[in-house]
Amino acid sequence: MKNIFFCLILIISALFVTNCKKIGPTKTVIQAVDEKKQPLSNVKIVIRAQSTQGTPANGDLADSSYTNASGEVEFDFSSVYKDGQAGVAVLDVKGEVIMGNVEYEGFSYVQLEPGVTKAATVVIRKKVIEAAP
């Protein structure tokens, strides 16, 4: 009887441990580059959640930071993901910088996945300003 009870507890414990899968961090790394694919530092990267399939965007998913010497910036959204959630978000990415008296910008997007570090590249080009009619 003791052996059966011990085996039963061992099996239940094994099932419990295998079902408690710990998910890794949910992050995105954005790199800003010029048109020659050279990394750009001190570019302000602004990210915001897109509205998808008619649902409002997740307001918690908005942030900004500046790229480092390698032209990269990292955002961590691990706290936003809830266990059992189908996905996290699609983020609009905008990069902007002023060099001299000229404004430059670039756009991209990234789809976050739970427990995955996703990367996106923003190509920074001279900002086009439309003339008023």
pLDDT value, residue 25: 85
Residue 5 has pLDDT above 70, yes or no: no
Q: What is the largest CA-CA distance in the chain?
A: 90
Residue burial 59-98, b: 16+ Cβ < 10 Å; e: rest: eebeeeeebeeebbbebebeebbeeeeeebbbbbbbbbbe
Q: How far apart are CA 40 and CA 34, in angstroms?
A: 7
pLDDT band at 121 (very low <50, low <70, confident <90, very high): very high
Say which CATH topology domain 23-126 has.
Immunoglobulin-like (2.60.40)
pLDDT value, residue 14: 56
pLDDT digits (tens, 9 = 90+) for 32-89: 999 999 999 999 999 998 755 544 445 557 899 999 999 999 999 888 766 665 566 7
Average pLDDT score over the chain: 80
Q: How far apart are CA 103 and CA 84, in angstroms?
A: 43
pTM over 0.75? The answer is no
pLDDT digits (tens, 9 = 90+) for 83-97: 665 566 789 999 999
Q: What are phi and psi of 106, to 5 degrees?
A: -160, 160
